[in-house]
Amino acid sequence: MSRYFTEDHEWVDVEGEIATVGITEYAQGQLGDIVFVELPVEGATFTKGDDAAVVESVKAASDVYAPVSGEVLEINGELEAEPALVNSDAEEDGWFFKLRLTDASELDSLMNESAYDKFVASL
């Protein structure tokens, strides 16, 4: 499995043609306590960069963008009942949705972990 990051602080794990998407530890740290997550519907299709979900915290609401193009195969229903999962485990159990990739070449424009760490350090 390969993990990629965006400048908007989404992460995406890719295994075959399936991409699992969430927000980074850095993003959840900036947002603070997550109180609500609005997820896309299964079957929705997104183009890279589209608004795909919304995360709300005690501080602010923020859009979650599709880091790659694809069709939503699954959402993390646990987040609807327990949005704080994003705070406790943003980069594992706090995932938002899974997409079937439609253009794997879009991954080339994303950062690997070391590039993302350098990006965050420069903020």
pTM score, two decimals? Answer: 0.95
Confidence of residue 53 (pLDDT cuts 50, 70, 90): very high
| pLDDT digits 0-9 by tens, 67-120 | 999 999 999 999 999 999 999 999 999 999 999 999 999 999 999 999 999 999
Burial class (CB in 10 A: 0-12, 13-18, 19+), 22: buried
Local structure of residue 82 (DSSP, 8 states): -
Write the DSSP symbol of residue 42.
T
For 2-103, CATH number out of 3.30.160.340, 2.40.50.100, 3.40.640.10, 3.30.70.20 equals: 2.40.50.100
What does the domain layout of the chain look like in residue ranges?
Answer: 2-103
For the beta carbon of residue 80, count every other beta carbon within 10 angstroms.
12
- Given 3-state DSSP classes, what are the helix, strand and coil percentages for the chain, each rounded to the nearest 5? 25, 40, 35
Is the pLDDT assigned to residue 56 strictly greater than 80? yes
Beta-bridged to residue 64, according to DSSP, are: 53
Does position 1 have pLDDT exceeding 80, yes or no?
A: no
